[in-house]
Structure 1
Amino acid sequence: MIELGEAALHLRRAAEGDQQAWRVVVDTYTPVVWGVSRAFTRTPADAEDVCQLTWLSLAENLHELRDPNRLSGWLVTTARREAIRLSRARQRESPIGLDAGDFGHPEHAEPAEHHALRLLTGSRLGQAFGQLPQRCQQLLRVLAVAPEASYAQVSEALGMPMGTIGPKKGRCLTELRRRLLGAELPEEVAG
């Protein structure tokens, strides 16, 4: 992780056209952008789109950032706004009852029994996860898709006090496990 002063320096150099400085900025902040993108979108493909839109927005606005030391917050806010905008657009364009995730996978890729068990378990996990409060879902998504992100980054991404992240994660996982066991899954599946 680069220090705040270094981030401002790399950002200024990137604005001047230094590709290496741009790469350092992208490499440093991608876990945060990805975590926010994944927390506020339904699919990995949408999260990738949000990440790309966020980095494009930064590239277009490099010269206009007032305080380069607040880059992380700017990226978090931009990713969240892009995710919300994309989510609204997807709601207008998706046919009801069709899940884009069901297309493009050959049915013979795995034995039918494994496929059926995976769908059953996945749907129960998805249902249990979907019953969690929104904040739990967002926190667990960020921690799952960006495990290398620090608690400070997660705190900034979700607007959650850093000292509450660990305890909140524990409570959310306990609740998810309780819901899975309540769904009569075998304990080895529920975790």
Structure 2
Amino acid sequence: MLVVHEVGDAAAGAGLLNRAASGDQQAWRELVDRHAQVVWGVARAFTTNPADAEDIYQATWLLLAENLDRLREPEALSGWLVTTARRESMRLSRARRRESPVGLDSGDFARPDHAEDPAHKVLRAMAGSRLAQSFAQLPQRCQQLLRVLAVTPEASYAQVSEALGMPRGTIGPKKSRCLAELRRRMLAADLPEEVAG
């Protein structure tokens, strides 16, 4: 269950940050537990690749560990983590575009089926589905919002707002419009009503 920490918790968060900076492992674990869902939500909002999301997540925590004693406003840790995860997402996205080999099908480099676990087989099968195709046709902002809400369904609108840089009051209406557009695209792709609905 995601625990929503209010602004009044800022002093406690700053204390945790100071304890973690002095080497307290329990304080570090508490910091990660408090903010893991938001960092993961940002990472998943900016990529469809689970491995890239894990890289973004890990890089964000590594950067925090490296900068624990340099944070000027410890009470703003959540915002720092969101900003850092967003920047890491953009950095990784640029790096992936530079790495992409021209003229080669990336499927040629996939692991053999016998080494693939069932979860990866299902995810790979879903990627080719009409749902995935309809989702990929949505505007990027809709994709990011729906990904965050799917990955962290218990996140508050305040956390989603912070993760995506969207005004909190627009999240509910935007979510409704995005889901309606996804449904419309799925119906246009001749999916059965019960699948689209």
TM-score by length of 1: 0.87
In the TM superposition, what whole-angstrom CA distance separates every residue of 1:14-71 from its partner, at most 9, and x where no partner exists?
0111111110100110111001011112301000000000000000001110101111
Aligned to 1:112: none
Unaligned runs of 5+ in 2: none
Contact preservation (8 Å) 1:128, 1:180? yes
Aligned to 1:16: 22
Aligned to 1:87: 93
- Code of the residue aligned with 2:21 in structure 1: it is A
User: What is the deviation of 1:148?
Assistant: 2.2
Aligned to 1:138: 144
- Provide the rounded CA distance (Å) in 2 between the counterparts of 1:5 and 1:138: 31
Aligned to 1:106: 113
- Code of the residue aligned with 2:167 in structure 1: it is P
Indicate the SS of the match to 2:145.
helix
Aligned to 2:10: 4
Name the count of aligned residue pairs: 184
Q: 1:155 aligns with which of 154, 161, 171?
A: 161
- Provide the rounded CA distance (Å) in 1 between the counterparts of 2:18 and 2:63: 16
- Provide the rounded CA distance (Å) in 2 between the counterparts of 1:13 and 1:120: 44
Question: Is the counterpart of residue 72 in structure 1 residue 78 in structure 2?
Answer: yes
Question: Is the counterpart of residue 185 in structure 1 residue 191 in structure 2?
Answer: yes
Indicate the SS of the match to 1:57.
helix
Aligned to 1:128: 134
Indicate the SS of the match to 1:88.
helix
Contact preservation (8 Å) 1:39, 1:141? yes
In the TM superposition, what whole-angstrom CA distance separates every residue of 1:139-159 from its partner, at most 9, and x where no partner exists?
001111112222111000111
- Provide the rounded CA distance (Å) in 1 between the counterparts of 2:77 and 2:56: 17
- Provide the rounded CA distance (Å) in 2 between the counterparts of 1:63 and 1:56: 13
User: What is the deviation of 1:104?
Assistant: 2.3
Residues 21-32 of structure 1 mapped to structure 2, 5 A cutoff:
21-32=27-38
Question: Is the counterpart of residue 167 in structure 1 residue 178 in structure 2?
Answer: no
Indicate the SS of the match to 2:150.
helix
